[in-house]
Amino acid sequence: MVNRRVILSGLAAAGPAVLIACESGPAAAPAAAVTAPAETPSPPPFQVRVQMIPQEARLGQDENVIVRATFLRFTGGQQRPVSGAQVSATVAYPSGPQTFTSEVTTFPDGRAPDLAIPVAPATRGSNVRVEVVMRYQGQEYKQAAGFTVR
């Protein structure tokens, strides 16, 4: 039986030392796979934050649900507000989708003007999906949200 061990030194400054073991014969174990450490995913360059007010609308009591959206950009490891983006919301009512758009763009603090979404086309007990879209410099940035009708 022949045992060979090779240790690559001199790489310690660049990273951990690598140990390679080679054995011949019937008891030889398969070589372990070397994998690179997983990279931490970087946050997307833009983010749309959405809040639905109220989250649970009461049919017959709440006339509208307010869509409150904020548009942010990640730069230098920090979130910064983005002004000048146009907001719209497409609401998936049981009777079909309806889109609501603000002509006013996001303010210097990144907040968009609130959009009032009527509750009435939805039926009691339904979950209504809302897709909020920010249009900025020819691009669209989307975030899904929704509300429940009680």
42 vs 65, more confident: 65
Hey, which bits of the chain come out as E strands?
Answer: 3-8, 18-23, 46-53, 56-57, 64-75, 78-81, 86-93, 96-101, 115-118, 127-136, 139-149
- Fold assignment, 46-149: Immunoglobulin-like (2.60.40)
* pLDDT at res. 6: 41
98, 101, 88, 69: which is closest to 133 by C-alpha?
A: 88
User: Model-level pTM?
Assistant: 0.71
Distance, C-alpha 126 to centroid of its chain: 25
Residue with tokens 């919301």: 89
Out of 5-19, 34-48, 76-90, 95-109, pick the least confident.
5-19
* pLDDT at res. 44: 79
